[in-house]
Amino acid sequence: MGAFADEVYLAAGVKRWPLEIAERLLASPLPWGPPAYALGVGYIDDPKQPDQASDFIELAHLVDGAYERHGSAMGVAIQWAMATCEASRAAGSWRSVSTQDLLDMLFLIARGERFTDGLIRSQEAMLREVMQEVVRRVHSDDPPVFLPRPKML
């Protein structure tokens, strides 16, 4: 890894990060986001087609503290996530990004779907790269440590 401790804080009540859900998402070609809806146009994607939106959104919400680490305003946090992803993809490596930050990116994009219909589907290729990197790290000789949410003072 890098100079940082590869620790991930899980959401309240979460005891382990479910690797099996991540691997199932990656193995399936079904879209990760819900069908996009445009006001005045209707559904852009067929809402009757199957997707993996509920599994992706559930998995993305199992981490804690993304807003505290990357900005309490959704716009600021999303900008951080997109800029970090673009820089890592341009560099051809996710090594400078902690596993916590990778999972924070997934969380922030999932939360952003509430404000920007179709965000998950539009960023799915990048989200799949992020998830692949997390899964690779979990299977590595030096996996990240998943910790319960720290107690608030």
Q: So what's the pLDDT on residue 153?
A: 45
Domain boundaries in the chain? Answer: 7-147
Confidence of residue 1 (pLDDT cuts 50, 70, 90): very low
- Residue 93: is it exposed, middle or buried by C-beta count within 10 angstroms (0-12/13-18/19+)? exposed
More confident residue, 83 or 43: 83
At 115-146, the pLDDT tens digits run: 888 899 999 999 999 999 999 999 999 999 99
At 91-102, the pLDDT tens digits run: 999 999 999 999
Cα distances from 112 to residues 88, 106, 119, 129, in angstroms, run 20, 10, 7, 18
Q: So what's the pLDDT on residue 2?
A: 47
Report the distance separating Cα 15 and Cα 25, nearest Å: 20
What's the rounded mean pLDDT across residues 1-16?
Answer: 80
